[in-house]
Every structure is written in C-alpha cells, then in structure tokens.
Amino acid sequence: MDTNKRPDSMERITTVQLAQDFISEQVAALQAQIGDKKVLLALSGGVDSSVVAALLIKAVGKQLICVHVNHGLMRKGESEQVIEVFGKELDANLVYVDASDRFLNLLSGVSDPEQKRKIIGNEFIRVFDEEAGKLCNISFLAQGTIYPDIIESKGVKAHHNVGGLPEDMQFELVEPLKLLYKDEVRLVGDVLGLPHNMVYRQPFPGPGLGVRCLGAITRDRLNALREADAILREEFENSGLAQHVWQYFVAVPDFKSVGVRDGKRYEGWPAIIRAVNTVDAMTATVEEIPYPLLHKITDRITAEVDGINRVLYDLTPKPIGTIEWE
C-alpha cells in the first residue's frame, strides 16, 4: 500500500467531531510508532509545524523536542508567540535558538535574491543540525508535511522551503499530517486548542522578511519593514479584511526618496503594500482596498515607523508580477 496516497475512502475532515476522531487515531498511532523514544521537530510557528507539534505534545508530551530557530527574519511577535504558546501554555520541551546575528551577518551585503535564499536555507540547516547534535538519543524526526506537499513535491514548495532538512539525518520520519489538506490541518489545529491567529495565519515564505527587505538587508531597514508590516496586519485585522485577503504584506526597497518632516528634509524608504487573492498562488488578483483604509495605513506607517516616508500600493496582478518582490 502506498502510504503517501490518500485513500479514496478517507472522509474530508470538515467537522469538530471528525477532527477529534482524527486526533484520537493519530495519538494512538504516534504512541505506537514512537514508544518511549524521542522525536525532534523544527518548529517555525507556521500552521503545519505548529499543528504537528500540538499533536505530538498530546501523544508523547516531553518526548518531543521542538527546536525553534529565529533567523532574525520573522514577522513582529512570531518567535515570541512560539515561546508563549509552546514553551509556556503547552509546556513543551522547546529549544529556542536566537540565530539572528548569524543570519544577518552572512546576509550582509548580499543583494541577489537567489543567493539570499540559499544563504538562509543553508544556514537554517546548519543551525538545526548543530542543535540536533547537542541532543542525545533522538530516534525520530517529525515534519509538517501536508498532502499538497506530496502532490506537488517537485513543484513550488520543495524548491521554496527553508525547512528542507539534511538528507543524511539518521532519523525515522514522523509525518502525521501528510494525508491532510490545509483546511483540515487548520481545523485539527483549532480543535487541539491552538490560537486562532496561528492556525489561520496567511502563508509566509520560509526566508521570511528576507525576501521583502529587498536587495542587501540592513538591520535598520529590516526593522522598518517589520514595524510597517505589523501595522498593515493590525489594520487588516481591525477592518475585517484579513479574513478575505489571502496574503498581504509590506516590502521595502533599498532606495530612499526625499520627503519633509517637521519642516525639515526627511529622506526615507518607501513601504510597498501588496495584498492579493489567489487559489493556488500560481495566479493572483489584487484586492480592492477601500481608500480610507489605505489612507489610515499610510498615516500610521509614515508617523510611526522610523525611516519610512512614503507608502505605495502595488496594483500588479500575477502574472505579470509574482506575489513576492524577489
């Protein structure tokens, strides 16, 4: 039997009851597979790895060791939420690694987007590997593989994902979500009690803000991007748009324009807002954001974020523009 094929008889998980049944079955299966051994998981805080973590915590508790690598390119508050939810509320065995300086030092002066992605991906593996090397007697590696990853295994995600781990790791794989679609993963996460904003969050590229701080990343511009992005998210949530828009974010290019603040010349970067809807990320349309909201976001970003003096809205559909800027 091909264990990577979803059986035709498998019912779509659409209700709390079905999610509970899935959780009970998986908890029993995970306990049988893992026994009293230890499992390692790279926990990014994204939907898939978070749901795997919650499921494994329920099944084997402290035998799961979650490693959260903060590459310094997370959105505002994300690493903090991982620590709060998994370290504190779920009392998980969590190793938090703040590797921001390592990543940002390696990225210093690098402007080519593919080169940036490679550096981030390789360093992620190196940091994770080092942490794994410090732990003893790990038998299993858990992964947040979901069914679309298997179907598209040679497509977008495989080449995109920073979480691609070394092939020579000597662990047996644990992939409890590998037959589920994203909506099912979200429902299971909800029923497991994970916070709504974690389970329903929008897709976020593995290289994080690294591909939105355009060109060579500097710490000051990265900070400006993170703050502007947080304001955009807050305003989308408050206005209810967050539920209707598939992906929305800010990108900050590495050039400045002239502005004026408090009667003085004020040079700053532009914050570019992108908000798109799509089904499969292959094509995308631009969301029509009400002008009053755009004005409010512009006012807040230019007033609250150091270094930003203009706000632009990207009106380009995909194609011709990709969703990300690099």
Q: Scanning residues 279 to 308, which ones bind ligand XMP (CB under 6 A)?
A: 281
Can residue 161 be called a binding residue for ligand XMP (CB under 6 A)? yes
Q: Provide DSSP, 5-62.
A: S--TTPPP--SHHHHHHHHHHHHHHHHHHHTT-EEEEE--SSHHHHHHHHHHHHHHGG
Start-to-end CA distance of the chain, whole Å, equals 41
Select from 7-15, 136-144, 200-208, 232-240 the region that touches ligand XMP (CB under 6 A).
200-208
Say if residue 207 is preceded by a cis peptide, omega within 30 of 0: no
Can residue 247 be called a binding residue for ligand XMP (CB under 6 A)? yes
Q: Scanning residues 69 to 88, which ones bind ligand XMP (CB under 6 A)?
A: none
Instruction: Please provide the size of the chain in residues.
Output: 326
> Which of 31, 161 has the CB closer to ligand XMP?
161
Q: Provide DSSP, 211-259.
A: GTB-SS--HHHHHHHHHHHHHHHHHHHHHTGGGT-SEEEEEB-S--B--
Task: Return all residues near 100 (Cβ < 8 A) that are at least 6 apart.
Answer: 70, 71, 72
Tokens (6 digits) for 191 = 């029923």
Of positions 71, 117, 212, 221, contacts ligand XMP by CB under 6 A: 117
> Which of 110, 281 has the CB closer to ligand XMP?
281
Can residue 207 be called a binding residue for ligand XMP (CB under 6 A)? yes
Can residue 277 be called a binding residue for ligand XMP (CB under 6 A)? no
> Which of 263, 319 has the CB closer to ligand XMP?
319
Site map (CB under 6 A) of ligand XMP, residues 6-45, x = contact: ----------------------------------------
Of positions 205, 268, 270, 307, contacts ligand XMP by CB under 6 A: 205
- Min separation Cβ 266 and ligand XMP, Å: 31
Reported as type and span, the H/E element at residue 168 is none
Residue ranges binding ligand XMP (CB under 6 A): 117, 156, 160-161, 203, 205-207, 211, 247, 281, 318, 322-324
